[in-house]
Amino acid sequence: LPENIYYLSEYESIGHRILNKTQIFVMFELGKDQTTLVIPLAEVPTAFERFPEFNITSFGNFHFAYSEGNLEFSDVKRIIKASETDSIQALCKNLERLDKTSRRIGLDESRLTPAMWKYLENTFPDKEFIAAMDIFEGIRIIKHESEVALLERAAEIAEESLFNILPKIEIGTSENEIGRWYMKEVIERGAEPYFNVVTIDERSAFVDTVSTKKSVKDGSIIRFDIGCIYQKYCSDIARTVVFGKYSDKVKQYYQA
């Protein structure tokens, strides 16, 4: 998963996040400090710029034009020249370098096909491959103080953004308009919109829906299912407000 890649290395790939078939691997060997990054060839300059100390292996095809005399690009060219045909071949190239005493290998299996897994087992019969997605989840679920602070700030940004747009709402404002206002507020606070769903009146009871052109009227119930991403940490909050005067029925529901 992209989240696991970032957690282990702080390397972020847009392609890995957007395209489910994109393969990226980060490798660690117990007792050693070296981090190995296996990435698509097109991402080599970006990865080298951020992490020149990593052992970078690339795969696939891409065309680059180079500026002669650039020492940094000489290293990039070296990595590209040694590029493998596909992600599994690039991974195998690095697995072959492992200490012979390293018998057990944990792999985040979330984006590995059964055929890929079988290929690894056949290529390295002396190794035991362990599905590690649940292991990563168990590790990441334990939050350090710095992570808790980021989660709290993500929640604060979502709520601040919501409170800032409430005075703008008037009769005729649509769910879509309110959602756009919310995203703008989130961005201005240094975060990314994670998701935002605004629903009005009977649509406020819908679960996992999307916003529409439905507009506000006097007494409308407006439900916000919103969140944001702040420095890679996500918030998810829900709030319900009434525009104008609330009815006795709404008051009864609230008190219940």
Sheet holding 25-27, edge to edge: 25-27, 36-40, 55-59
The CATH number given to whatever domain includes residue 66 is: 3.40.350
Domain span at residue 201? 145-255
Q: For residue 191, with 0-12 CB atoms within 10 Å meaning exposed, 13-18 middle and 19 or more buried, which class applies? A: buried
Q: Rounded to 5 degrees, what are φ and ψ at 104?
A: -105, 130
Co-location of 8 and 128 in the same domain: yes
Co-location of 61 and 157 in the same domain: no
In the chain, alpha helices (H): 2-9, 14-18, 44-50, 71-81, 87-95, 114-123, 133-140, 145-165, 175-188, 248-255
Residue after which a domain boundary falls, among 125, 140, 155: 140
Do the Cβ atoms of 104 and 95 come closer than 8 Å?
Answer: no
- Total domains present in the chain: 2
What is this structure's pTM? 0.83
pLDDT at 102: 81
Co-location of 97 and 206 in the same domain: no
Co-location of 9 and 133 in the same domain: yes
Residue after which a domain boundary falls, among 103, 120, 140: 140
pLDDT at 202: 94
CA angle 51, 73, 95 (to 5 degrees): 50
Co-location of 210 and 112 in the same domain: no
Co-location of 10 and 40 in the same domain: yes
User: Following DSSP, what letter does each residue of 100-126 receive, concatenated?
Assistant: TT--EEEE-GGG--HHHHHHHHHH-TT
pLDDT at 48: 92
Residue after which a domain boundary falls, among 140, 172, 204: 140
Co-location of 9 and 121 in the same domain: yes
Co-location of 23 and 83 in the same domain: yes
Per-residue pLDDT in tens (0 to 9) along the chain, 256 residues: 899 999 999 999 999 989 888 899 999 888 888 899 999 999 999 999 999 999 999 999 988 776 666 656 778 888 888 899 999 999 999 999 887 778 899 999 999 999 999 999 999 999 999 999 999 999 999 999 999 999 999 999 999 999 999 999 999 999 999 999 999 999 999 999 988 999 999 999 998 899 999 999 999 999 999 999 999 999 999 999 999 988 888 888 777 6
